[in-house]
Amino acid sequence: MRKKILITGASTGLGRGMALEFAAAGRDLALCARRLELLEALKADIATRFPAVRVAVRALDVNDHEQVFEVFRGLDAELGGLDRVIVNAGIGKGVPVGSGQFRPNRATAETNFVAALVQCEAALELFRARQSGHLVTIASVAAIRGLPRSQTVYAATKAGLAALTEGIRADLWHTPIRVSAIYPGYIESDISAGARKRPFLVDTATGCRALVRAIESERPRSFVPPWPWTAIAFVMRRLPLGLLVRFL
């Protein structure tokens, strides 16, 4: 059982929801995000509901790469050895490529891919040293295909993250370190607030229960919730692009 779990992007949405699920299962938590006040409120909430659970929080901007290493090392020392790291922090800004607004696309690329790489580096530095641990990356069903409009760069970052995760798994094949990529479908959170109605959207608690179940299975790849997203991913992979864009 993984007892000490670090989650980035834990101030809201999926990160917060997973933290509550793991706390209910009695796991100790290391929680990071930029909005420290939200992490402190979550810590207080967990202390009331699950008093036996230890929670350490840190303000962290994952785009500050040196800080990622420092914060992961500090939390590892504070909890006495992390045994799972969930690379979850992400944004969904993005505009069509070439529409004259490079900045949101660059921010999406940097946060969702470069900063995710840094988090993997910092986690594996700890795991390689002790030859144990479980690295989890939160990709997306959007990783399956190139997508149009505001999703183009987001989907590319998630495809890159999924490939990165598989590469790390290949590299660690003969070690006890486990590596999993999670591909969520639509789960209610701030990332999609205000977006047009999304099919098969589940509420945050339902989605996070399914996420935690998938993470605990330690399978290499999981679509979450499994139904209908495993089937949708199967079809998405095979649809001709002209047909795919009609559904998006």
Ligand X SMILES: NC(=O)c1ccc[n+]([C@@H]2O[C@H](COP(=O)([O-])OP(=O)(O)OC[C@H]3O[C@@H](n4cnc5c(N)ncnc54)[C@H](OP(=O)(O)O)[C@@H]3O)[C@@H](O)[C@H]2O)c1
Residues forming the active site: 154
d(CA 128, CA 191): 33
- Pick the closer one to ligand X by CB: 64 or 132: 64
Structure token pair of residue 23: 């706390």
User: In 3-state terms, what secondary structure has residue 137?
Assistant: strand
- CA distances, 187 to each of 58, 113, 235, 245 (Å): 25, 21, 20, 22
- Pick the closer one to ligand X by CB: 25 or 201: 201
Residue 33 makes contact with ligand X by CB under 6 A: yes
**Inter-residue contact 208 to 187 (CB < 8 Å):** yes
Residue 184 makes contact with ligand X by CB under 6 A: yes
Residue 7 makes contact with ligand X by CB under 6 A: no
Residue 30 makes contact with ligand X by CB under 6 A: no
Residue 150 makes contact with ligand X by CB under 6 A: no
Nearest distance from C-beta of residue 2 to ligand X, angstroms: 19
Residue 13 makes contact with ligand X by CB under 6 A: yes
d(CA 116, CA 136): 11
Distance of CA 163 to the CA centre of its chain: 14
| Sole window of 20-28, 46-54, 127-135, 190-198 interacting with ligand X (rule: CB under 6 A) | 190-198
Q: Strand runs (DSSP E) across 9-133, as ranges? A: 28-33, 55-59, 84-87
| Sole window of 77-85, 90-98, 170-178, 235-243 interacting with ligand X (rule: CB under 6 A) | 90-98
Structure token pair of residue 246: 């009609």
Q: Which of residues 94-133 bind ligand X (CB under 6 A)?
A: 111
d(CA 179, CA 215): 10
Applying CB under 6 A, the residues found at the interface with ligand X are 8-15, 33-35, 60-63, 88-92, 111, 138, 140, 184, 186-187, 189-192
